[in-house]
Amino acid sequence: MVTAAQQQTASAPDTDLAFPEGFLWGTATASYQIEGAAAEDGRTPSIWDTYARTPGRVRNGDTGDIATDHYHRWREDVALMAELGIGAYRFSLAWPRIQPTGRGPAVQKGLDFYRRLVDELLDKGIQPVATLYHWDLPQELEDAGGWPERATAERFAEYAALAADALGDRVKTWTTLNEPWCSAFLGYGSGVHAPGRTDPVAALRAAHHLNLAHGLAVQVLRDRIPADARCSVTLNVHHVRPRTDSGADADAARRIDALANRVFTGPMLNGAYPEDLFKDTAALTDWSFVRDGDLARIHQPLDFLGVNYYSPTLVSQADGSGTHTSDGHGNSAHSPWPAADGVAFHQPPGDTTAMGWAVDPTGLYELLQRLAADFPRLPLVITENGAAFHDYADPEGNVNDPERIAYLRGHLAAVHQAVQDGVDVRGYFLWSLLDNFEWAHGYSKRFGIVYVDYPTGTRIPKASARWYAQVARTGVLPGA
C-alpha cells in the first residue's frame, strides 16, 4: 500500500520545503573517475587502470588516464564549488597515489596533492569529507590475492594510518569504504567491475575482508584523528521490493536483502552476520574465513551511516521472465548474487535515466524509514544521489537538464518528508560535481551538474548546478 507521504514524494512538491538549520549540502566525486595523471608523481596502476586497459572491458576502450584532469585543475574545481555555494565536498583518496604498492611508506607528492586540495577547500569555507577507498585498489595487492585475502584488509589499515597522520588535522569527516558491495560482488562475482573476476566464493570472501578492513580502519582513525572528528562508512543500501505479495517473492527479496545489505550492516552495525545468509550460501562456503575476533573488530561505533541511493530493486522468484542480468548493475554471464540463481530481477515501472534506472523517490523515502527503524540511534547522510541524462551543450554553450532538476527535486522532497517524519538525516551529497569516467560505461554517461567537454576539459555548469546552488545556499527546496 502506498501511503500519503509516499504519494507526496512521488512528484514534485507544490510548495517550498525548508530543511533543518545545519543540514549539510554537498557534492561528491571519486579519485579514479576524475583525477587522471595516472602515472604522475609516483602513482602506480590500480585495478581500475588494469581493467580499463583490457580490451572489451570498458565502452569505447575509455580509461581514467586523463579523466577530467582534476589532478591539474583542482583549483578550478574548488572555485566552481565555492561559486555554487556548496558547503561540503566528498572526495576519495587514491590509494596507489599515496602508497603505490599498497605497502610501506607514503609517497609525499601524493599526500601533498590532497593536502593542497583540503587546504583550498577549507580556505573557501567548504568542508572536506574524505573517503579512504572508492574502488582503486593498488594492482600489486590484487596480484597478491586482492580483497578475497585477509592480508588486504591489514594493508588497508596501514594505509588508513598514513592518510590520517597526513590529513587528520584538517579533515574532520572520514569514510572508510564506498559501496563495498560493488567492490566484492561486481568486482569478484559478475566481473563487470575491476578486477573482473567471476568467482562467487571469492566475492563472499571479499565482502568479509572489506568488512574487516572497515573495522580496522575505524580503529586506526580513532587513534589518530581528533576526538571531535567523525567516522562513517558508505553503503549502497539496496531498497529491495518483492514483485508480488506471494511468499515466494518475499523470500526472493529476503535472499537479495541478505546479499546486498545485511552482509554489511549485520557485522558493521550489529556485530554479527545474518544466519539466513549463512544458510543460503552453505553450498558454496562454510565461512571459515571469518576468524575469532573478526566481528568485534568489524563492529565499531560510527558517527553516521552514508547512504547511496539511485533506484529500487524489484525481484521475484525466478519464473523465466527475468534474470540476474537485469538487476541494473551491468550484463554478465556470471551473477553478482551468490547462491541466488532462483531469483529474477525486473525493471521497476516508470521513467528511467540514461542508465536505464527507474526514477522512484518513494524508494528513497522507504529506505530511510527502514534504516531509521533498524538502527534508530545512528544518524544518516545521503552520500550519493543523482542521475545520468543525455546532456549536451547548445550552440550558445548552455547545458539545460530539466530531467535532472526534476529527479533531484523529487528525491530531495523524499528526504524532506523522511526528516519531517522523524528520520535523523543530517546531509545530502549530490552525485556528481563533474561529468566523469563512469566505470564500465566510460565517458558515455553524464552524472555531473557541471558539464565537462572532454577534448578540452572545459567546465560548464548545467542548469541543475544553478538550481542546486540555490537550494544549498538557502536550505529551501522550491516548489514546482
Catalytic residue numbers? 179, 384
**One-letter amino acid identity for 99?**
Q
Cβ–Cβ under 8 Å, residues 231 and 379 = no
Q: How many Cβ atoms sit within 10 Å of the Cβ of residue 133?
A: 28
Half-sphere exposure of 310 (CA within 13 A, CB side): 20
Say which residues have a Cβ less than 8 Å from residue 296's Cβ, sequence separation at least 6.
271
Of 402, 408, 406, 396, the closest CA to residue 432 belongs to: 408
- Strand, helix or coil for residue 335: coil
Q: How many Cβ atoms sit within 10 Å of the Cβ of residue 37?
A: 18
Q: What angle do CA 304, 310, 313 make, to 5 degrees?
A: 105
Say which residues have a Cβ less than 8 Å from residue 341's Cβ, sequence separation at least 6.
318, 324, 335
DSSP string, 221-265: HHHHS-TT-EEEEEE----EEESSSSHHHHHHHHHHHIIIIIHHH
Q: List the grid coordinates of 314.
A: 524489484
Cβ–Cβ under 8 Å, residues 390 and 355 = no
Cβ–Cβ under 8 Å, residues 46 and 137 = yes
- Strand, helix or coil for residue 469: helix
**One-letter amino acid identity for 82?**
A
Q: List the grid coordinates of 312.
A: 529500487
User: What are the backbone dihedrals phi and psi of residue 25, each rounded to the nearest 5 degrees, phi first?
Assistant: -115, 125
Element (H, E) at 196: none
Q: Cis link prior to 195 (omega < 30° from 0)?
A: yes
How big is the chain by its Cα radius of gyration, in Å? 21
Cβ–Cβ under 8 Å, residues 193 and 187 = yes
Strands 425-431 and 380-384, by their bridges, are parallel
